[in-house]
Copies of this chain bind each other. A is one copy, B any other.
Amino acid sequence: MTTQSQGLHTHVLDTLGLEISSGQCPPGSVLRTDELAQRFDVSRTVIREVIRVLESMHLVESRRRVGVTVRPTETWNVYDPQVIRWRLAGSDRPRQLRSLTVLRSAIEPVAAGLAARHATAEQCAELTERALGMVATSRGQQLEGYLEHDIAFHRIVLNASGNEMFARLGDVVAEVLAGRTHHQVMFEDPDPAAVTLHVRLAEAVREGDPEAAERITKEIAVGALHELDVLAP
């Protein structure tokens, strides 16, 4: 899943990022560049580049004479898709999934309302197409196909909102949906009610009805939150 073998840099970054965000290196712990270079059998050059990236994500802090210190969680750039991926792969996935879903429940209704105003004909068409795709894959253990349509659907809504900040949340939503599908044991097919709501949302957007779009999206979000409550601690 995580990118790899396209450079030493990437591998080291991924490994360290995962270790830190999974709490394996708790905040306050100190890493030394020389040790890391030895451990990964790469030059200090590579390690330093990785550290700089980690530093830009506020995962670590590098100080002279003391080393590279892991920073407390509150300072992390939790909107960085890479960080999100690491955390979803790590130990506190449930908490992460929940806070991300709450975020979605705040953003997506507003985005859907805007989409109903601004969506182009093409976007409406693709939205409908994806909704139908969700219907078609909603039964019979076609979870992967369903997931693909689901992700595409929400991406379109976010893009159609015309707001850059919303649009760029598409990756986050994709991570959440993928994480939900892959990491939660899903015995059953997707909730039929959710499928219906997506179809109705596509209609509302197509008909240019912002209030309906917002309301329906809120319902979808409520459903997602409820699902988390049922399936997670």
Residue A15 interfacial (CB < 8 Å): no
> Contact between B49 and A79 (Cβ–Cβ < 8 Å)?
no
Task: Check if A99 sits within 8 Å of B164, measured CB to CB.
Answer: yes
Considering only residues 53-110 of chain A, those with a C-beta below 8 Å from chain B are 53, 55-57, 73-74, 76-82, 99-100, 102-103, 105-107, 109-110
The interface size bin for chain A is 35 or more
Q: Which residues of B contact A114 (CB under 8 A)?
A: 102
Q: Are A110 and B105 in contact (CB under 8 A)?
A: yes
Say whether chain A's binding surface is mostly helix, strand, loop, or mixed.
Answer: helix
How many monomers of this protein are in the complex? 2
> Is there a chain B Cβ closer than 8 Å to A30's Cβ?
no
Whether the pair A165, B79 counts as a contact (CB closer than 8 A) is: yes
Q: Which of A9, A74, A77, A167 has the most CB of B within 10 A?
A: A77
**Cβ A102 vs Cβ B163 within 8 A:** yes
**Contacting A79 at CB < 8 Å: which of B50, B109, B168?**
B168
Is the C-beta of A52 less than 8 angstroms from some C-beta in chain B? yes
Check A103–B166 contact: CB distance below 8 A: yes
Please report the C-alpha to C-alpha distance between residue A167 and residue B78 in the assembled complex, in whole angstroms: 10
Chain B residues whose C-beta falls within 8 Å of the C-beta of A48 in the assembled complex: 45, 49
Closest 5 CB pairs of A and B: A79-B79, A106-B110, A103-B165, A49-B52, A53-B56
Which residues of A pack against B, CB within 8 Å?
9, 45, 48-50, 52-53, 55-57, 73-74, 76-82, 99-100, 102-103, 105-107, 109-111, 114, 163-168
